[in-house]
Chains A and B, each alone.
Chain A
């Protein structure tokens, strides 16, 4: 009786198509990628039905959450100039290395006195929760508040470097109480910034 021979099939699969798809997807993701920045102050933004996207450049973001105020502005060149200007206003001398490091800090929230300390930390140490105490929003005597100065100097820096009017956006935590938001809005209005954006996340049309 002859043995029934089972034909040995090759286990190798043709990967060409799979490879094509994989690289197509890869190309798409690389081209659309904007790396997510770690945020020192995570906030839960309220939802709205607005569908206008936030612009990428020349827009400062004031983050308000858990009773702290953080300030951030895109653009390394602007941040560098901003630090120089703030140093002049408050009489703090920053070294060349500190300026370079500060240019890489996306968002921060400390009084100007503690800024050097924060600049000299490593990236991940900087974003430890509770380390940064927020930018003071109260004016001291006749001196405007530090947040006022940051916004004002950032506007000057943006105008100088990009010849654009800086826009301001407010990114508030949904549970933040209104008085604190109002304080920030008052600061903006005191320098005649009457138009700004509120950052929200998307929600379905219904509800």
Chain B
């Protein structure tokens, strides 16, 4: 079937020179072999999944020194990232929290519930969809990079427009120590 007709022209016995009908079939086996070899090579060397980029804008360092933004207590939520993939959150300020600080986890059954609930609540209080919840993320020294990315991801998922990564300070570390997620 797929082979070249190699039988040489045998009709030399005078008469008309008839052009021989050659088979047009070519043996493709070698070609297919080669093609699959190359496919395998390219498949193994390509990176199909390009890494994702999460854009992050940090507050301008110089500007914050001059103008401390005063934020209404009932709009601000502080999330402290502790050790062991745990976090702690409260509304308002650390000295006088509106809700008692509670320890929570990451993900769907963790902080997301609180975030969605609170952001609805805040819009209800202010009556202006633009004045939503403001989240302050304070990673402690005991948290790791995954925690930071996770919490930023939660911001995206629960559609929080205003959030910032802020340095943690002493009373909040005390709080983490008290609840045993700073070790």
Which of A26-34, A93-101, A115-123 lies at the interface?
A26-34
Identify whether the interface residues of B are mostly helix, strand, loop, or mixed: mixed
Which of A74-82, A142-150, A178-186 lies at the interface?
A178-186
Q: Are A19 and B143 in contact (CB under 8 A)?
A: no
Whole-angstrom distance between the Cβ of A46 and the nearest chain B Cβ: 4
A196 to B47, CA, bound (A): 23
A134 to B58, CA, bound (A): 25
Whole-angstrom distance between the Cβ of A194 and the nearest chain B Cβ: 5
Q: Does B176 have its Cβ within 8 Å of any Cβ on chain A?
A: no
A26 to B35, CA, bound (A): 7
Q: Which residues of B contact A26 (CB under 8 A)?
A: 35, 38-39, 42
Q: Are A178 and B141 in contact (CB under 8 A)?
A: yes
Q: Does A36 have its Cβ within 8 Å of any Cβ on chain B?
A: yes
Interface size on B, residues (CB 8 A): 50
A179 to B140, CA, bound (A): 8
Q: Are B50 and A16 in contact (CB under 8 A)?
A: no
Q: Does B174 have its Cβ within 8 Å of any Cβ on chain A?
A: no
Q: Are A176 and B144 in contact (CB under 8 A)?
A: yes
Q: Are A189 and B149 in contact (CB under 8 A)?
A: no
A179 to B167, CA, bound (A): 11
Which of A7-15, A106-114, A124-132, A153-161 lies at the interface?
A7-15
Q: Does A195 have its Cβ within 8 Å of any Cβ on chain B?
A: yes
Whole-angstrom distance between the Cβ of B149 and the nearest chain A Cβ: 4
Q: Does B22 have its Cβ within 8 Å of any Cβ on chain A?
A: no
Q: Does A133 have its Cβ within 8 Å of any Cβ on chain B?
A: no
Q: Are A14 and B35 in contact (CB under 8 A)?
A: no
Q: Which residues of A contact B29 (CB under 8 A)?
A: 15
Q: Does B146 have its Cβ within 8 Å of any Cβ on chain A?
A: yes
A75 to B127, CA, bound (A): 51
Which of B10-18, B89-97, B151-159 lies at the interface?
B151-159
Q: Does B128 have its Cβ within 8 Å of any Cβ on chain A?
A: no
Q: Which chain B residue shows the least CB distance to A190? A: B61
* Residues of chain B from 47 to 74 with CB closer than 8 A to chain A in the complex: 47-61
A60 to B84, CA, bound (A): 31
Which one of A18, A48, A169 lies within 8 Å of B153 (CB-CB)?
Answer: A48
Q: Are A45 and B51 in contact (CB under 8 A)?
A: yes
Q: Which residues of B contact A171 (CB under 8 A)?
A: 51
Q: Which chain A residue shows the least CB distance to B63? A: A194
Q: Which residues of A contact B156 (CB under 8 A)?
A: 48-50
Whole-angstrom distance between the Cβ of B67 and the nearest chain A Cβ: 16
Q: Are B140 and A34 in contact (CB under 8 A)?
A: no
Whole-angstrom distance between the Cβ of A153 and the nearest chain B Cβ: 21
A192 to B136, CA, bound (A): 21
Q: Which residues of A contact B132 (CB under 8 A)?
A: none
Q: Which residues of A contact B56 (CB under 8 A)?
A: 195-198
A14 to B2, CA, bound (A): 6
Q: Which residues of B contact A165 (CB under 8 A)?
A: none
A143 to B72, CA, bound (A): 41
Q: Which residues of A contact B59 (CB under 8 A)?
A: 194
Q: Which residues of A contact B145 (CB under 8 A)?
A: 46, 64, 172-178, 181
- Give 6 CB contacts A-B under 8 Å: A30-B42, A49-B156, A50-B54, A177-B144, A197-B56, A200-B153
Q: Which residues of B contact A (CB under 8 A)?
A: 1-3, 27-29, 31-32, 35-36, 38-39, 42-43, 45-61, 81, 107-108, 139-150, 152-153, 156-157
